[in-house]
Structure 1
Amino acid sequence: MLCADKSAWLITNHAPQLILSGYDNIDGDIIAVDAGLQSVYEHRLSPTVIIGDMDSLDPALLHKYRDVPLQRHASRKNATDTELALDWCTEKGYGRIVICNDMQGRFDHCLAIVQNLLDLYRKGIDATIESEKQRIFFIRESLSLEGKKGDLLSLVAYSPTVRFVGSIGLEYPLQELVIQQQQSRGISNVFERDEMSLKVAEGEVLAIYTPL
């Protein structure tokens, strides 16, 4: 059973040196994903569990955390270490998950993380990918964001058709806008003020927020 107040922060192999929220402001359990344990160590975080095949992790570093529960997987497997960590979080009932990843590594791995995000969204989990410069998440019917004038919000259709009811505070209004899955129509909308809101009538929408 999911618990909305139970949060997990996945520190992945490609966790950025900085995240938008700030590592000091993490408000949940730390999940070290394979070589992400190096970032956990550098930021002096206390992991709840370490998950992965450990094939890219320094054994000496792993030894420093010998008292932390370890979920070791085979290197030949049918899921990425991040997906295995997300499966563990789902089983434990985390209702909110933040994946810390710079999204600058291999494109196939970045795309896989977005696919993982879609799976979490469909399971009713509040999930976000957070890097140094962006937040990536799926929208549930409506969205309200505080930011600054000039910030960017890109909207990507993840279903054949997305229909918007409308928006407030965006340079390019979304009133009754329809975006097809193959279109780039929703890229690089701009905050006209320090906050915005929108409503979705139909479809699955991936949002990428980029504060400037």
Structure 2
Amino acid sequence: MVETTAVVVIGGPPINKSVAKYLPRYDYVIAADSGLHSAIDLGLRVNLVIGDMDSVDPAVLISAAANGVTVQRLPHDKDATDTELALLAAVAYGSQQIVLVTGGGGRLDHQLGILSAMQHQALKDCDVSALWDTARIQLLRGPGLCTIHGKVGEVVGLIAQHGDALGVTTDGLKWALNDETLEAHSSRGVSNELVATTATISLAHGQLFVIQPTALES
């Protein structure tokens, strides 16, 4: 079965334009509100714009609609962010792989909300990752295996989410783990390093973020 890949571009601070070359082959592009501007800047052909449209340029939105982009306008007062609803739209499209693109920065509650939305239960069967300014973030759910690539000496962080990450085993990292536990609310997984250009992280139970803070060119 061929995986369907969606790219979700969200609003906020300007996006690192080198991100475009790190995108996988994709089938569908969703822009969350003013993420439409960033998607256009990256040269992406947008299929859907979703959100309350409080930050997108109306003229840009009208032009997009005239060029066949579907516009899904939502109420300003709602119980979910435009980012979360864009991710859910990617699931509704049938995507098995979802790559979120953000410039990072901005309000702290927005940033934490993005990380929370990436872990939405509706996305549990999807391969979810983010290109976050100069960082690459992958969500690893157990039981599962994650393979990463980079330069020797590059920093890698493993951060447990929603409880302890159990049975963590790594290969290719300086501080190796062998069927160990990364406890929730612990900083133990911060600032590991690649000792090879390819590394693997396996997880028996729980979930964690695999973060490469400098994986993308600035």
Taking structure 1 as the reference length, the TM-score comes to 0.89
2:34 aligned partner: 35
Q: Is the 8 A contact 1:8 1:98 kept in 2?
A: yes
Q: In structure 2, how many angstroms separate the alpha carbons of the residues matched to 1:77 and 1:100?
A: 23
Deviation string 1:88-127 (CA, Å, 9 cap, x unpaired) is 1111211111110122111111111111111268521111
Q: Name the CA distance, whole Å, in 1 between partners of 2:162 and 2:78.
A: 29
Structure 1 residues 177, 19: CA separation in 2 closer, same or farther (over 3 Å shift)?
farther
In the TM superposition, structure 1's runs of 4+ consecutive aligned residues that sit over 6 Å from their partners are: none
1:57: how far off?
1.6
**Structure 2 residue aligned with 1:185, among 178, 188, 203?**
188
Q: How many residues align?
A: 210
- Aligned partner of 1:74 in structure 2 is 75
Aligned-pair CA distance for 1:24: 7.5
Are 1:51 and 2:50 matched, yes or no?
yes
In the alignment, the residues of structure 2 paired with residue 65 and residue 156 of structure 1 have an alpha-carbon distance, to the nearest angstrom, of: 38
Query: What is the deviation of 1:182?
Result: 1.7
Stretches of structure 2 lacking an aligned partner (at least 5 in a row)? none
Question: How far apart are residue 202 of structure 1 and its match?
Answer: 2.6
SS of 1:203's partner is strand
Match of 1:61 in 2: 60
Q: Could you say which residue in structure 2 is the equivalent of 1:8?
A: 6
Structure 1, unaligned runs of 5 or more: none
Q: TM-score, normalised by structure 2?
A: 0.87
CA RMSD of aligned residues (A): 2.2
Residue 25 of structure 1 and its aligned partner are, at CA, apart by 6.0
After TM superposition, list the pairs within 5 Å mapping 1:1-212 onto structure 2.
Answer: 5-14=3-12, 16-20=15-19, 22=21, 27-67=26-66, 68-119=69-120, 123-140=124-141, 141-211=144-214
Question: What secondary structure, in the 3-state scheme, does the structure 1 residue paired with 2:203 have?
Answer: strand
State the shift of 1:65 in Å: 1.2
Cα distance in 2 for partners of 1:62, 1:151 equals 40
